[in-house]
């Protein structure tokens, strides 16, 4: 089975580190790399100062490392990530651990997607939005 690695990013420039790590994992597995950002009404909304510029940078970086980047607007990031992962046949998801740890959001993703391997990168910004 072909590996498909999904990197979930926020509108923070530090998400670039996640894309680099995801590209490394995808290369090691000889798999496909996808990058997903879900914007909602929280801090990840494109109207928040600096988010649009950061997303442009992340989009360019995704292209540079051979990844397809998708930006979705959805009120429920959890549902959007789950649906995207299932539709695209994702086998691994890479997330950044926020200041407060992986938390309930990531745990709920793991429960909803038990067939997917999760990797949590420490000290990388991740915030649930929606």
Look at residue 1 in the predicted model and tell me its pLDDT: 66
User: Which of 85, 63, 60, 61 has its CA nearest to residue 72?
Assistant: 85
Distance, C-alpha 120 to centroid of its chain? 11
Alpha helices in 12-71 (DSSP H): 15-29, 51-64
Tens of pLDDT, residues 65-111: 999 999 998 989 899 999 999 999 999 999 987 655 557 888 899 99
How far is it, in rounded angstroms, from Cα 7 to Cα 15? 9
- pLDDT over 80 (residue 42): no
Dihedrals phi, psi of 53, to nearest 5 degrees: -65, -45
Total-model pTM? 0.86
């Amino acid at each position: 089975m072909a590996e498909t690695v999904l990197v979930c990013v926020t509108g923070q420039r530090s998400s670039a580190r996640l894309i680099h790590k995801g590209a490394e994992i995808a290369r090691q597995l000889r798999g496909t790399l996808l990058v997903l950002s879900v914007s909602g009404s929280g801090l990840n909304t494109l109207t928040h100062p600096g988010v649009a510029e950061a997303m442009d940078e992340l989009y360019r970086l995704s292209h540079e490392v051979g990844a397809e980047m998708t930006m979705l607007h959805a009120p429920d990031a959890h549902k959007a990530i789950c649906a995207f992962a299932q539709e695209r046949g994702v086998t691994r998801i890479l997330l950044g651990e926020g200041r407060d740890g992986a938390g309930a959001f990531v745990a709920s993703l793991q429960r909803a997607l038990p067939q997917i391997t999760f990797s949590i990168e420490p000290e990388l910004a991740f915030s649930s939005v929606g």
